[in-house]
Every structure is written in C-alpha cells, then in structure tokens.
Copies of this chain bind each other. A is one copy, B any other.
Amino acid sequence: MTRETASPQLQAIKVACSNCNLRELCMPVGLEEQQLKRLDEIVAMRRKVKRGGTLFRNGEPFTSLFAIRTGFFKTCVATEDGRDQVTGFQMAGEIIGLDGIVNDHHTCDAVALEDAEVCVMPFDRIEELSREVTALQTHVHKIMSREIVREHGVMLLLGSMRADERLAAFLLNLVQRLHTRGFSQSELVLRMTREEIGSYLGLKLETVSRTFSKFVEDGIVEVKQRHVRIVDTAALKRIVNSQQACH
C-alpha cells in the first residue's frame, strides 16, 4: 500500500485555467480575455495524490492553495490526545488549504479519499495578482467568506440537530454539490467510510449505520454499501427542518 509518496508527483502545467472546464467553479467569471490569460499564471503546477495520501499535514509550512481538479478529499483536525474531527469533504472545483494562511503553516490534514489531482497555486502569487486583477481579489475574499459561512452551517448541524437530521442534511448537501458538477440528483457514491461520515457529523459510526438503515426502512433512500439512491428527497428535507416539532 502506498500510503504516501515521499516525493510528491509533480508535473509541469499543461492545461490552463483559461480553458479548464472547472474554471467557473474555482475562478472568477466574466473576465475579459486579457485578464483571463493572467489567471493562468496562478497555477504553478499540478500534483497528483494517491488514495490515502495526504496533500498536506498539520504543521507543514503553508505555501499554496490547491484547487481540486479530480478526486475527493477530507480535511481533519486533531488534538494531542488522539481525538480527531473531519472538518469537511472537498470535491472537484473546490479550494483547499485556506487554514494555512493565518500562521503560515497548515493546521489540519488533507487526505485524498480517492486518487486525485490538484492545481497548486502559490499564495504569494495569488496575492500579487489579486492586487492587479480586482475580480481575482474579490473572488479570493468570497471563497474565504464562503468557507466561513459553510462552517457556520456545520456548527448549526453539530450544535442543534439529532442524528437523523444530521445525516439527512449531509446527504442533501453532498448530492446538491454533485449535481452542480453534472452528476445525478438522486444517486451518489460515498467516497468516505461510515466512520469518516460520523466524525464529520459528530456521531459514532454505528449511529451513522443505524440511521442509514432507518432511512432505508422508511423508504427514503436505498443503500448498498457506499452506493446511495435517494428515493424521497422531500422526506429528507422534511427531516432536516423537522425540529422534532412537538405540541
């Protein structure tokens, strides 16, 4: 098992942002030809990460943000005493590594859940260019703000939802993001284990499994290992904001 590549696989940049099919996901839109060309300067290179390998680790020096081209990542923080928490799952078109900016070193691990490829964007180059290209500056700010808002949502989930509400919200979020990328609205393949889902949702893996089973019993989803088919999206949405309304 190659858990990690001692010398990460790098390759010279061949495909430019200007004609990348994921551009509208990770780059600003509505740019003029000239500005678009300049964006190509941002991506220094590509880097491949094998399943199970890490893009970066807690404590490593921060130099670059990464735009995911293909594959699927999780980010997780850990305490000295072995406790750890998945803080997010990232897929193609999403930006990863923002945590490293504040202290010039990363504060979480980014692990590939399937073979992945990322665009390496040196942060000093991003800062330099965003001083000249206003649209890029705005875009960087929005990406960071979006991450803050996303985490607010996770805090709401972790702080005030029951297990079934958490899992329902998780599935809806995942399938919605996949749909944006051209996948089905109702079918998805989970790239993470039950334990990783549980860590993200603040639940134990058994609870995740049980909750899946309950959804199956209720005819809301069909589950076959990591293949999930959402049969009744409306029911999931009802669960998310049910608040277990009593009285």
Contacts and interface: CB of A to CB of B under 8 A. Distances in A.
A142 to B, nearest CB: 5
B160 A85 contact: yes
Interface string A85-110: 10100000000001111110001100
Contact of A146 (B102, B158, B199): B102
Contacts of A148: 98-99, 102, 144, 147-148, 151
Given A151-B148, A152-B107, A159-B85, A142 B242 contact: no
Interface stretch (A19-27, A31-39, A131-139, A173-181): A131-139
A155 B200 CA distance: 9
A132 B127 CA distance: 11
B77 A142 contact: no
Q: Is the interface of A mostly helix, strand, loop or mixed?
A: helix
Contacts of A241: 79-81, 83
A175 to B, nearest CB: 19
A107 B160 contact: no
Interface string A118-148: 0000000001001110100110111111111
A82 interface: yes
A76 to B, nearest CB: 9
A15 interface: no
A197 to B, nearest CB: 12
A137 B127 contact: yes
A177 to B, nearest CB: 16
Contacts of A108: 152
Given A77-B155, A87-B155, A130-B137, 8 more contacts: A77-B153, A77-B156, A82-B243, A83-B241, A102-B146, A127-B138, A148-B151, A155-B155
Q: Which 5 interchain pairs have the tightest Cβ spacing?
A: A101-B145, A159-B202, A158-B158, A102-B145, A151-B151
20 contacts: A79-B243, A80-B241, A82-B243, A83-B161, A87-B152, A98-B144, A98-B145, A99-B149, A100-B145, A101-B142, A102-B143, A102-B146, A127-B137, A127-B138, A144-B148, A148-B151, A151-B152, A154-B155, A155-B158, A159-B199
